Amino acid sequence: MKVGILGFGTVGSGTYRMLQENREAIERNAGVSIEVVKIGIRDAAKPRDVAAELFTTDLDSIVRDPAVEVILELIGGIDPAEKLVRQALANGKNVVTANKELMAKCGSDLVSIAREKGLDMHYEAAVGGGIPLVQPLKHQLAGNDVLRMMGILNGTTNFILTKMSQEGADFADVLAEAQALGYAEADPTNDVDGFDTMYKISILASIAFGHQVPVDCVYREGIREISAADMHFAEMLGYAIKLLGVCELLPDGQLLVRVHPTLLPKDHPLAAVNGVYNALWLHGDFVGDVMFSGRGAGANPTASAVMGDLIDIGRNLKIKGPGSAIPYSGPKPTAPIDCLESRYYLRVKSQDRPMGLGQLATCFGQSDVSIAAMEMRQLEDGIAEIVFLTHRSQESSVRDAIVQIESMGKGDSVQTCIRVEGDGTL
Amino acid sequence: MKVGILGFGTVGSGTYRMLQENREAIERNAGVSIEVVKIGIRDAAKPRDVAAELFTTDLDSIVRDPAVEVILELIGGIDPAEKLVRQALANGKNVVTANKELMAKCGSDLVSIAREKGLDMHYEAAVGGGIPLVQPLKHQLAGNDVLRMMGILNGTTNFILTKMSQEGADFADVLAEAQALGYAEADPTNDVDGFDTMYKISILASIAFGHQVPVDCVYREGIREISAADMHFAEMLGYAIKLLGVCELLPDGQLLVRVHPTLLPKDHPLAAVNGVYNALWLHGDFVGDVMFSGRGAGANPTASAVMGDLIDIGRNLKIKGPGSAIPYSGPKPTAPIDCLESRYYLRVKSQDRPMGLGQLATCFGQSDVSIAAMEMRQLEDGIAEIVFLTHRSQESSVRDAIVQIESMGKGDSVQTCIRVEGDGTL
């Protein structure tokens, strides 16, 4: 089996190294010998540990090469990855990609093309790094109606939130530390503003529900607003704060797909997933609760997932089977976040005054939001911080309450509003 | 796709019900319509909710029926399941089985026959109920050298140990409660003496290491000896007690496969898997740590796994692909339990006497076993209970120490000896 690799960064070089180090087991499992014939790179001048003649900066030549049977697209991003993958499929090559953005934005189309041409198109590494998620959803769990799925799908933000929780530190300080350790990029937007999680939950939702979920149908909030104060109050109330991708089937048959920081009860299995670990929890109508966890990023875990896909293609080529790309159907109606019914955590900064608490409580009550728990502490002279945990309420009602609180003209403001999950309701 | 079902107990009837309730999703995913043409049962007189003409007590007629393309073997046990599965394969039928004993004892042979005949032979439901384990090991993780695998694979014993830990109750009382609740059989041997876990770890080890691990090469201990006192001391020392199936690659290349109660540090992810839940934790050289958890038994979760296998066969029949049975190689040398190096927990009942503790400590020292922690409490007048937690030691040395302690002639006896895992070494 002749393989061309596009990209030789963390994932590309990790995959190449795994192929060398575990060659015997990989070829035994694939049933074929595997030869990397060409590696496409951008910068030929960079020193590398691999024979120079394997490299080329002409990536087009790899996807055109008639000898190449499988393309590993490990560049990431849309340009030029999308163009190269389309060319590879058009030229009859099987494709493995680790590219979540590409699969979230063009996956439905690419998989359909592969299907029509009888090619394999695999993307296990695009979600959850080394954790098997994509294929188990497509195969072992495929008989279930998935009712709800919640995932910690971004290691950088989970590392930051874990540190904030353990050290009582603020977001900005822990972000700087994560950047120094190489866990966060110089521009952290993709991670901390939830784009990475959005791509991944969009892919998982599309598989689990059999319908493409476009990324612009995913509600998205990042973790920049989470403060040490929120961690403190969450802890007091018995919760952890995690950035989750959540996908659920509403009673009216619409899907609601969303990414936001979430309070999770400490005894929920996802609450114990810390540091750079990722996890997916789901509830299927027959299987019940299932959880998968492991390392969601990094050279080696991602290489492990790429290799699993490559082994499957090897097996398939050997038996001359047709490709196993499984397409999903067209888009399914998705609900806006206003349709959410959930519990909410709100942290309010309030000016001390007679009747202050009563006025706040009245704002909630008039918006049809009922309070389940409250914590209060004095911040400085004349200013208090009050945390409200609500019973199940409509998102739109909570937004209405926030508007009422901030328009009282008493100087009260809602600092954070975080949704609560895992409280026993499906 | 015409399907014959053998057995209509918990799993058989659950599978049939899932096929009715989720028919649309299942057929969409399988790409074919699915018809159950016959269901084989033992007792025709039992009242059932399904049209009587579907049932037959002539199970042979189902595996002979030329119209049947897939056999779901959901009887369990060896006789007559083995004979029927062999006949089904000989007659060119694809097979899905949920039978752990059959796969542990005859799996290598059955899969080879399926392979030769170009048939599918799937057994996801044989291990871990609804949790995807078998196929992820065969596919997504297949590029890894698996270095260690530890699983809570039996829901009955995990339910019992969880109850004992939470309520301070003794084994016999909790077993009686589990029997009353239907979680344990009238004859609990298969569960509490570790046979069920032995079958399952043998299957997983065979897949992960690519070599058949015969069940008689698996060391096995059950949980009957675990007492409320052990739960108490484990808790004090920061551990949970779980019945684990463990499989590891020793430095000399031998496999060591074993089933026994195990002390796990409370912060190990398996320690939090409680009640009837099952989980598999593994460490692969590239993927790192991965864990899967969920419901390991019951009609619905098991049906979910059977259905995933059936959907895969449907896809394969539709594209007229050859079978995807993946055989493993012949037996690999396995090591005896004496080769184990581990930490150990020992609870000793000791007669109070001057020098008593020193004599016990000397027994350990002379056997090359070094003590890491100790707890002691008075039981009744003149009798003390002393718990020793050792540093890493050879199993043979610990056994030697036990012999020395019990042959001092001072009335001391080792009540329990439990291995410790998950202490940070691989």
A132 with B130: Cβ contact below 8 A: no
Average pLDDT over residues A391-408: 96
Interchain pair B136, A141: CB under 8 A: no
- Confidence tier at A131 by pLDDT (50, 70, 90): very high
Residue-wise pLDDT for A88-101, tens only, equals 999 999 999 999 99
* DSSP labels, B268-322: SGGGG--TTEEEEEEEETTTEEEEEEEE-SSHHHHHHHHHHHHHHHHHHHHTTPP
At B285, the amino acid letter reads D
Band (A426; pLDDT cuts 50, 70, 90) = low
The predicted structure's pLDDT at residue A317: 86
Nearest-neighbour CA in chain A from B83: distance (Å) = 27
What pLDDT shows up at residue B96? 98
Give the CATH number of domain A2-127+299-318; options: 1.20.140.10, 3.40.50.300, 3.40.640.10, 3.40.50.720: 3.40.50.720
pLDDT (0 to 100) of residue A369: 97
Is B93 part of the annotated catalytic residue set? no
In B, minimum Cα distance to A29 occurs at B142
Place domain B135-295 in its CATH homologous superfamily. Dihydrodipicolinate Reductase; domain 2 (3.30.360.10)
Closest chain A CA to residue B303? A286
Q: Which of A25, A26, A294 sits opposite B287 (nearest CB)?
A: A294
pLDDT of B231 reads 97
What A264-267 contacts at long range (C-beta under 8 Å, 24+ apart), as own/partner pairs, is A264/A239, A264/A240, A264/A420, A264/A421, A264/A422, A265/A238, A265/A239, A265/A422, A265/A423, A266/A238, A266/A239, A266/A240
CB-nearest to A143 from B22, B272, B290 is B22
pLDDT given for residue A321 in this prediction:
73
Q: Which of B124, B140, B277, B317 to mutate to test the interface with A (most CBs of A within 10 A)?
A: B140
Kindly determine whether residue B294 and residue A287, on different chains, have CB atoms separated by under 8 Å: yes
Question: With 0-12 CB in 10 A as exposed, 13-18 as middle and 19+ as buried, what is B3?
Answer: buried
pLDDT at B423: 78
Angle at A406 between CA A403 and CA A410, to 5 degrees: 150
Say which residue, A222 or B381, is predicted with more confidence: A222
What span, in angstroms and rounded, lies between the C-alpha atoms of B41 and A43? 67
| pLDDT score at B424 | 67
A contacts of B125 (beta carbons < 8 Å): none
Q: Is B320 exposed, middle or buried (0-12, 13-18, 19+ CB in 10 A)?
A: exposed
Picking from B292, B300, B307, the nearest residue to A292 by CB comes out as: B292
Contacts of A303 in chain B (CB under 8 A): 143, 286
What does the pLDDT look like over A296-350, one tens digit per residue? 999 999 999 999 999 999 988 887 777 767 777 777 789 999 999 999 999 999 9
| Residue contact B284–A272, C-beta within 8 A | no
Nearest CA in chain B to A305: B140
Q: How far apart are CA B270 and CA B278, in angstroms?
A: 9
Q: Is B25 close to A131, i.e. CB distance below 8 A?
A: no
Q: What is the pLDDT of residue A383?
A: 93
Residue range A40-84, pLDDT digits in tens:
999 888 888 898 999 999 999 999 999 999 999 999 999 999 999
Mean pLDDT, to the nearest integer, of A369-380?
92
The CATH class of the B340-420 domain is alpha beta
Residues in chain B with pLDDT values less than 50: none
- B contacts of A132 (beta carbons < 8 Å): 132, 136, 139-141, 290
List of chain A residues whose C-beta atoms are within 8 Å of the C-beta of residue B304: 140-141, 143-144, 284, 286-287
Q: Which residue out of A38, A163, A200, A332 is catalytically annotated?
A: A200
Other CB atoms within a 10 A radius of the CB of residue B236 amount to: 12
Segments making up each domain of chain B, as ranges:
2-129+299-318, 135-295, 340-420
The per-residue pLDDT for A253 is 87
pTM for this entry: 0.94
Q: What is the pLDDT of residue B425?
A: 60
Task: Output the average pLDDT for chain A.
Answer: 94
How far is the C-alpha of B26 from the C-alpha of A244, rounded, in Å? 28
CATH of domain B2-129+299-318: 3.40.50.720
Cα separations in angstroms, A124 against A33, A76, A100: 22, 14, 10
In chain B, the residue whose alpha carbon lies closest to the alpha carbon of A292 is B292
DSSP state letter for A64: H
What pLDDT score was predicted for residue B330? 72
Does the pLDDT value for residue A425 go beyond 70?
Answer: no
- CB spacing of B142 vs A26 below 8 angstroms: yes
Collect all residues of chain A within an 8 Å Cβ-Cβ radius of residue B287.
130-131, 294-295, 300-301, 304-305
Of B163, B200, B242, B332, which residue is the catalytic one? B200
Of B384, B398, B400, B302, nearest in space to B349 by CA: B384
Instruction: Determine, for residues A25 and B319 on separate chains, whether the beta-carbon distance falls below 8 Å.
Output: no
